[in-house]
Amino acid sequence: MPTLDDVRHEIARIDRTLVCLVAARLRAARRAIRLRAAAGADLTDRDQEAVVLERAQQWSEELGVPPELVGVLLRALIDAGKGRGVVLQREPAPTGPALRPLIERPSHPLGVPALLSR
């Protein structure tokens, strides 16, 4: 039977994997932004965002993950990929955390935050 420390190590490995996947997604979003900029397209592609969110909702249902959680995560990733961030702000219980957009950060010429432009 696994110990509490074993489970905590498993969670730490999963968390690292999640962070690595977020980094990979942000790099891919940066490439998409560069391609859209080169084509003279808008930074935001609402049709594609809808596809991404709908696909994620379907996966959440298939995997038994709360759709609200998946929606919040994907929206945060989409916004971060465009150089917009979110801050988790605690509200009085029982409402829990809420997301609020940050004011635009100083950006790379292609709209990519300095943090992502490496």
pLDDT surpassing 70 at residue 97: no
| Residues 29-70 pLDDT 10s | 999 999 999 999 998 999 999 999 999 999 999 999 999 999
Q: What radius of gyration do the chain's Cα atoms show?
A: 17
Structure tokens that stand for 80 in this block: 């971060």
Q: Which residues of 63-79 are buried (b: 16+ CB within 10 A; e: fewer)?
A: eeeeeeebebebbbbbb
**Domains of the chain by start residue, with CATH:** 4-113 (1.20.59.10)
Q: How many residues does the chain have?
A: 118
Structure tokens that stand for 28 in this block: 């891919």
Does the pTM of the predicted model rise above 0.85? no
